Amino acid sequence: MDLPFIFHPIFSFTPMTQLSFDDFLVEEEYLTVTDLTKEIRYLLESTFRELWVEGEISNFNHHSSGHMYFSLKDENAQISCAMWRRRNQELFFTPRDGMKVVVNARVTVYEKRGNYQLDVLQIKPAGLGELQLAFEELKNRLRGEGLFADEYKQPIPLYPERIGIVTSPTGAAIKDLVTVLRRRFPAIQIVLNSVRVQGESAAAEIAQAIDEFNEYGKIDVLIVGRGGGSLEDLWAFNEESVARAVFRSQIPVVSAVGHEADFCICDFVADLRAPTPSAAAELVVQNRDGIAARLNQMLEFMSGSILDRIKYQREKIQYIKNSYAFRQPEDLVVQYHQRLDDISRNLRKSMSHKIDLNEQMLNGLSKRLALLEHNNVLKRGYSFTFRCSDGKLISRANELNKKDEIEIKFYQGKVFGTVNEVEG
């Protein structure tokens, strides 16, 4: 049996306004990728200024543009690095994969890729092995450029009056130098240009001090150096900037770095290498007592030489005094008078003969010139022809035209006529 369908409304609907999607769009602030990257870059660069980072080089690439790209890593992390060409041109060694280094850099963001990286300002080897490698690389490169060549070495003056010193004002080196210099020659003038001899800015200060002495100019010789130390302590004297400052110095440079067993790049470039600062002072300045002894020896030699010379001249004068000429002076004078008369007579004869020859030659030339006189030429049957209109002397027939009036001069007399025809 079919049951009737009964509808019982559960919900009731009331009239509504039409729904709009605009009600779901809420105005919110947003950043572009570029804006966000710039914010991150600003945050990193303002938070991390210049810093030093130590790590191992990997993925090193020296691009054809001259820029260097590499990663710096340790056991747990790595970071991309870039060193631009204008900075890496001053490197004294060639970075390579696996080398431990310390870099001075700024943290920045490469916006194109959204990667943070280090903008490298300086690179230095970290550790003794890397330092020794850098030392050998720079030494070989500078030797190849000729900075160690003997042809560029300047002689050290024997007796300098003013000595310039580039070193630390508080180290043992300056004390040793001043002590030895004053002991050997107290009158010597010493000019100190104070620098740091180790640390980050030491090399730049040393190079600048050498340049300043050259600008000053009133220095006879330079001593550049410091006391002993480790390879790291002496490293400022292995920097390329110091080597090139020493090489371009117009003042002779003595390198006095460390102890006798220590060698640095500065030693090879300098005009003279001293094993220690004290030895440099002894090489540069002569001992006053030694100079005085040599002067006394020279004075004795000169005195003896002068006395010997005086004795010789006295003996020579005595010999001349006892000679025949001084014993018979009148006879000698007569002989010279006779010789003078002979010379005068011969001279007069020679001059007379010379005058006769010149007169004969002059007469001959006069006769030859007379033959060339124009009247003598006319006398031999020649004539001169002139054009009446301008008085020009005619030497060729083609200089005349038909009906020109002409004057013909002979040795005696002249005739006038008119040209009827011209040939030639």
Q: How confident is the model at residue 18 (pLDDT cuts 50, 70, 90)?
A: low
242-251 per-residue burial string, b: 16 or more CB within 10 A, e: under 16: bbbbbbebeb
Indicate where the chain has its CATH 2.40.50.140 domain(s): 33-126
Please report which residue ranges of 48-167 form alpha helices under DSSP H. Answer: 85-88, 128-145
Mean pLDDT score, 232-247: 91
What integer pLDDT is reported at residue 131 of this predicted model?
74
C-alpha 392: how far from its chain's center? 72
Position 391: which residue type?
G
The average pLDDT across 117-126 equals 87
If we measure between CA atoms, which residue out of 107, 93, 188 comes closest to residue 140? Answer: 93
pLDDT at 132: 79
Out of 22-26, 314-318, 327-331, pick the least confident.
Answer: 22-26
* pLDDT tens figures, 292-304: 778 888 888 898 8
Other CB atoms within 10 Å distance of the CB of residue 377: 14
How far apart CA 343 and CA 105 sit, in angstroms, is: 101
The kind and range of the H/E element at 14 are none
Please name which of 189, 261, 249 lies closest in space to residue 224, comparing C-alpha atoms: 249
Q: Compute CA distances 219 → 154, 222, 249, 412, whole Å.
A: 14, 7, 11, 95
What CATH class does 33-126 carry? mainly beta
Among the listed residues 37, 115, 114, 120, the one whose alpha carbon sits nearest the alpha carbon of residue 72: 120
Burial pattern 17-33, b for ≥16 Cβ within 10 A else e, equals eeeeeeeeeeeeeeeee
Structure tokens, 178:
């001043």
Sign of the four-CA dihedral 325, 330, 336, 339: negative
CA 366 to chain centroid? 71
Taking a C-beta distance cutoff of 8 angstroms, is the pair 409, 386 a contact? yes
Angle between helical axes of 172-184 and 277-284 (0-180°, round to 10): 30
Ranges in the chain annotated CATH 3.40.50.960: 151-286
Neighbours of 118 (CB within 10 A): 23
Counting beta carbons within 10 angstroms of the beta carbon of residue 198, is it exposed (0 to 12), middle (13 to 18) or buried (19 or more)?
Answer: middle
CATH 1.10.10.10 fits 151-286, yes or no: no
**pLDDT the model gives residue 372:** 67
For residue 144 the two structure tokens come to: 């190849």
CB 37 within 8 A of CB 45: no
* Dihedral sign from CA coordinates of 272, 276, 281, 282: negative
Q: What is the pLDDT of residues 259-277, one digit of tens each?
A: 877 789 999 999 999 999 9
In the three-class reduction of DSSP (H, G, I as helix; E, B as strand; rest coil), residue 79 is classed as: strand
264 contacts 255 by C-beta, under 8 angstroms: yes
pLDDT of residue 216: 94
Tens digit of each residue's pLDDT (9 = 90 or more) over 93-103: 778 888 888 89
Q: For residue 221, what are the β-bridge partners? A: 163
At residue 49, the 3 state secondary structure works out as coil
For residue 408, what are the contacts with CB-CB under 8 A and spacing of at least 6? 383, 384, 385, 386, 414, 415, 416, 417
The mean of the pLDDT values for the chain is 84
Is residue 158 within 8 A of residue 287, CB to CB? The reply is: no
pLDDT digits (tens, 9 = 90+) for 188-213: 999 999 999 988 789 999 999 999 99
